[in-house]
Each structure stands twice: as structure tokens, then as C-alpha cells.
Amino acid sequence: MKTKTLIRAALACAFAMASSYAAAQSSFTATYKGGSTSSCGSTYSIQGKEPSASGKYPVYVHIGGTGETYNGAWAMAAVDAAVAKGFVAATVQYDNASFGTCSTIGQRAKCIFNPNNVNSAIAKLCSRAKADCSKGIVTGGLSQGSIISVLSRDYDSRIRASMGQGTGSTYTVAYNLQSCMANGKHAQPGSNLRIINGERDMFVGGTESIARSQAELVTGITCSGLSPTSCIKSDGSGWAIVKDANVLDLYADHCFMGLGTYGAQCTGVLAVDANYQYGSGAWALPATMTWLKSRVTP
């Protein structure tokens, strides 16, 4: 009963804060050409928000995970947090019905982030009147979206920093992505990465130790200590492990940002976890967005 009361109180607080976010934002939609092949010939949607105030702003791009609705609650929570920090922010649909190899996911990333293709998502976003991509672009995403987030700088050198949630180089036993996701195999240096993994993330290993080792492999960043749960450097880069006690449903799985069913990965999700959306932890959205904002030009 105590847990349910805390959840209800947190959701009420989240609703009130979400309303204050919305007052300073205006929404937009667009389309771009993407896909899993070099033709980037399929049409996909973009849903975004930007500050209502006049001015030119850097850009935040969010990419959801496999099977995730591109404009669902988790994605829009990130978009709202980014706009509140002064970004033109958008979540991008792509062909995410299946996972894939470095080649397949890399091609999806290229269709989104190729600045030389006028039909790419990043070209469409940078052409917006309030967007100024010379100030910098930052990215974020979950699971397959986190891989695309990390790989984004392979295609667009304007990308200053990338956040990943549920990020690794090995997903279950079927996919080994070390050839593109291990530190040094992608263009984004570890000093421009912030990786957040749940301690019970079964897709990148299932234990806190493996979640940590996967974050270390992707970033190349390690910290001393027997079993650190946070390795955030003074410049804000690094990684953090979400513990069960950090989240309201007490289950820090692959989808730690959602209120779900204890014991099952990414299921029974009711809402965005308020501790993630508005909390003060290094793993939470406010700290991540503050770090991403520090990487762009005001």
C-alpha cells in the first residue's frame, strides 16, 4: 500500500510538472525518408516540440527502442525535458520492428543522421526556422535507439554528445555488436557519451556486473572500486547503473524509465517513472539533459 501511495503522489507531481513544461512549448510534425537500405526510400514520421520564445536553438534527437512507439510516453518525456532546456527537440520514427546487425542498424542510423541527404531526419530538423545545428546536435535513445544514438556521430560531425539507455555491445545471445559499439569502433568518443543501464537489464546481460561491463566497453570509461554504480566524470560523461531502489516499481530493467510489472522486462508499463522524469539522480532525465545542454553553444 505504501508503494502504491508513493506512486500516486509521484504521478500527481509528474502531471503538474508536465503541464508547466507544455506552457513553454509549441509542437510540430514532419516526415523524412529512412529505412534499412542505402536508398532510404521509406517515409517515416517526426514528432517534435520547440520553445515558444523567439530565437535559434540547438537540436536534440530521440530514437526509441525496438518495437517502441516512436512518440510514446518515454520518448515524449525526453523531448519535453530537452525543450525545457532550450532545444528544438524531436523523436524520430524508423523501421524498428526488428533488431539487427551493425550493418543493418548502422544503415538505419545513416538514414536518420546523414546531413548530405536533404530527405534525412537531421536535414529536416536542421531546416526548421528555430533550429541552429551549428550550435550543436545531441542525441538520446533506448535499446536499439541507444545504438543509433551512439552511432549518430559516424554520419554527422556536428553531433556533440550522445546519451544511451539500455546500451551495450551484446544483446541476448543473438547479436554481437562489438565491431561498431565497442569504444574506438564508433566515432563518438567516450568523453561525449553518457550511458545508463538498469541493474536487471536482461537484454544486455541480466546482472549489475554485466550492465556495468557493457557500459565500460561502449564508453571505454572505468572507475575504481569494487562495484561502482556510478562512473560519471567531472565533465558529465561516463555511465551509471540504475538500482531497483531508485525506481518506483522497484525493478530496474531494460525499460527502467517506465512504471511496469515487477519481474518482466518492459511489460505492464503504466506511465513514466517520476523519479526518472523529474528526479535528481545521475541516471535521471534532468541530470542527463543538463549535461547535454552543456555540450552545445547557447
Residue 166 — very low, low, confident or very high, per pLDDT cuts 50/70/90?
very high
How many residues can be counted in the chain?
Answer: 298
Judged against a pLDDT cut of 90, whether residue 31 lies above it is answered with: yes
What pLDDT was estimated at residue 20? 46
Average pLDDT, the chain: 91
Domains along the chain with CATH numbers: 25-294 (3.40.50.1820)
Residue 98 — very low, low, confident or very high, per pLDDT cuts 50/70/90?
very high
Q: Tell me: the pLDDT tens digits for 53-73?
A: 999 999 999 999 999 999 999
Residue 6 — very low, low, confident or very high, per pLDDT cuts 50/70/90?
very low
Q: What percent of the chain has pLDDT over 70?
A: 91
Judged against a pLDDT cut of 80, whether residue 189 lies above it is answered with: yes
Sign of torsion over alpha carbons 204, 167, 104, 154: negative
Judged against a pLDDT cut of 80, whether residue 11 lies above it is answered with: no
Q: Tell me: the pLDDT tens digits for 216-231?
A: 999 999 998 767 889 9
8 A C-beta contact, residue 67 and residue 97: yes
CA distances from 200 to 157, 252, 256, 280 (A): 34, 6, 9, 21
What pLDDT was estimated at residue 22? 53
- Contact residues for 225 (Cβ-Cβ < 8 A; gap 6+): none
Give the closest residue to 123 by CA, choosing from 135, 144, 137.
Answer: 137
CA distances from 262 to 13, 60, 209, 268 (A): 23, 31, 20, 9
Helix boundaries (H) for the chain: 2-22, 73-84, 102-113, 121-126, 144-151, 178-181, 208-219, 274-278, 285-294
Residue 15 — very low, low, confident or very high, per pLDDT cuts 50/70/90?
very low
Global confidence as pTM: 0.92
What pLDDT was estimated at residue 280? 93
Judged against a pLDDT cut of 60, whether residue 213 lies above it is answered with: yes
What pLDDT was estimated at residue 1? 41
Of 2-16, 81-95, 260-274, highest mean pLDDT: 81-95
- Contact residues for 70 (Cβ-Cβ < 8 A; gap 6+): 45, 47, 64, 91, 92, 93, 94, 96
What pLDDT was estimated at residue 23? 53
